[in-house]
Homo-oligomer: A and B are copies of this chain.
Amino acid sequence: MAGSTYGTIFKITTWGESHGKGIGVVIDGCPAGLPLCEEDIQTFLDRRKPGQSKFTTPRKEDDKAVILSGVFEGKTTGTPISIVVFNENQRSGDYGEIASCYRPGHADYTFDQKYGFRDYRGGGRSSGRETIGRTAAGAVAVKILNRLGILFTTYTRAIGPVSIDDKCFDAAQILKNPLYMPDAAAAKKAEAYLETCIQDQNSSGGVVECMISGMPAGIGDPVFEKLSANLAKAVMSIGAVKGFEIGDGCSVSKATGRENNDAFRLADDGSVEKATNHSGGILGGISDGSDIVLRASFKPTPSIASLQHTVNRSGEEVDIRIKGRHDPIIVPRAVVVVEAMAAITIVDSLFANMSAQMEAVKKFYET
């Protein structure tokens, strides 16, 4: 089944495998008249670029975005924006083991069960490189949202047992450490933790958090298209995410109503605001005007250097040791991907919301 298209009004379609000719995305439903150039895309791609520290794969991937359509004289035309990154740094190498074995924690076995065979080179379609298309589309989505006053702050909240201290939160730190943590002290500790993982031929999980400010209230739908539900799908569709939370998230299960309810009050300008934000900016599936806060829990990189037990395609039990250049942690490079998926989802919700009230539709078409 077709599973590579996401979104309804603002819609993206990704394609490409790790070691094929390229990776790309078609962005459809972008409004006409948005200034856009390849540099806008590149800035986002560079945030997921490997090789920037010892905590990401030393592979050199100079992923260069090329816009093939949908932009004319520096502005989007309203027609599909096709973006491609040609693959350049594939090792032609020996895929023997990946080709014949089911790597634990990977999708090798499930692909074979679904499709009968698979493109085993570098993970094929299940490779992390698939997120290049999402990231490129996210750059467009964030640019649209910024024009509407909606801003993103996305970062690493935790790496293994090391979590940021909210009291030390400093957004300026995010780009100052290779782990994208908004807390310099926590980043230091996390780096030390990752060193031990590497030495131990092991890997670590972690948490990405995304805060979205400037959201108007009233976005999202009350039943299946809850903004929280769509954000959940968007973020859980990123490989390796096993948990998703909005606002207080899983901890609400231990809370009482009195603790968890956010009181409404009047802001100085007379508008309605909430005294707290346990809801994470969404009530009943609809944005409530507070910051949207979401978190994704990533599992540890399944590719580890130590010996693992598994089964091969011939149905024999074997022990394998995964060679190659692998990140000991997925999280830092996934920060921009979480932001991208959240942004794409919110653009779609904003566009869908434009026909929510008859008077607004009437006014729109009268002008």
Q: Does A63 contact B (CB under 8 A)?
A: no
| Interface CB pairs A-B, < 8 A, 18 | A1-B356, A5-B28, A15-B68, A32-B115, A33-B359, A105-B262, A144-B358, A147-B358, A160-B254, A207-B250, A226-B237, A229-B232, A229-B237, A232-B244, A250-B250, A265-B309, A266-B315, A354-B361
Please measure, in the bound complex, the distance between the C-alpha atom of A232 and the C-alpha atom of B107, giving whole angstroms: 19
The answer to whether A223 touches B253 (Cβ under 8 A) is no
Q: Considering the complex, which residues of chain A in the window 218-267 have a beta carbon less than 8 Å from any beta carbon of chain B? A: 218-226, 228-237, 239, 241-266
Please measure, in the bound complex, the distance between the C-alpha atom of A246 and the C-alpha atom of B255, giving whole angstroms: 22
The answer to whether B242 touches A252 (Cβ under 8 A) is yes
Contacts A21-B68, A109-B283, A242-B247 known; 9 new A-B pairs at CB < 8 A? A3-B29, A15-B26, A22-B69, A200-B256, A203-B257, A239-B285, A263-B309, A263-B310, A360-B364
The answer to whether B33 touches A116 (Cβ under 8 A) is yes
Please measure, in the bound complex, the distance between the C-alpha atom of A53 and the C-alpha atom of B265, giving whole angstroms: 36
The answer to whether B3 touches A225 (Cβ under 8 A) is yes
Q: Which residues of B contact A207 (CB under 8 A)?
A: 250, 253
- Please tell me which stretch of A41-49, A77-85, A167-175, A176-184 contacts chain B, meaning at least 4 of its Cβ atoms lie within 8 angstroms of it: A77-85
Please measure, in the bound complex, the distance between the C-alpha atom of A358 and the C-alpha atom of B140, giving whole angstroms: 12
The answer to whether B356 touches A354 (Cβ under 8 A) is no
> How far does the Cβ of A292 sit from chain B's closest Cβ, in whole Å?
12
Q: Which of B111, B359, B361 contacts A222 (CB 8 A)?
A: B111
The answer to whether B32 touches A297 (Cβ under 8 A) is no
The answer to whether B224 touches A257 (Cβ under 8 A) is no
Please measure, in the bound complex, the distance between the C-alpha atom of A270 and the C-alpha atom of B220, giving whole angstroms: 41
> How far does the Cβ of A347 sit from chain B's closest Cβ, in whole Å?
9
Q: Which residues of B contact A266 (CB under 8 A)?
A: 311, 315, 317
A29-B355, A229-B237, A232-B233 given; A113·B218 CB < 8 A: yes
Q: Which of B77, B204, B247, B254 contacts A115 (CB 8 A)?
A: B77
Q: Does A102 contact B (CB under 8 A)?
A: yes
Q: Considering the complex, which residues of chain A in the window 21-72 have a beta carbon less than 8 Å from any beta carbon of chain B? A: 21-24, 26, 28-29, 31-34, 66-70, 72
Q: Does A289 contact B (CB under 8 A)?
A: yes
> How far does the Cβ of A100 sit from chain B's closest Cβ, in whole Å?
13
Q: Which residues of B contact A259 (CB under 8 A)?
A: 300
Q: Which residues of B contact A352 (CB under 8 A)?
A: 1, 9
> How far does the Cβ of A359 sit from chain B's closest Cβ, in whole Å?
6
Please measure, in the bound complex, the distance between the C-alpha atom of A130 and the C-alpha atom of B102, giving whole angstroms: 42
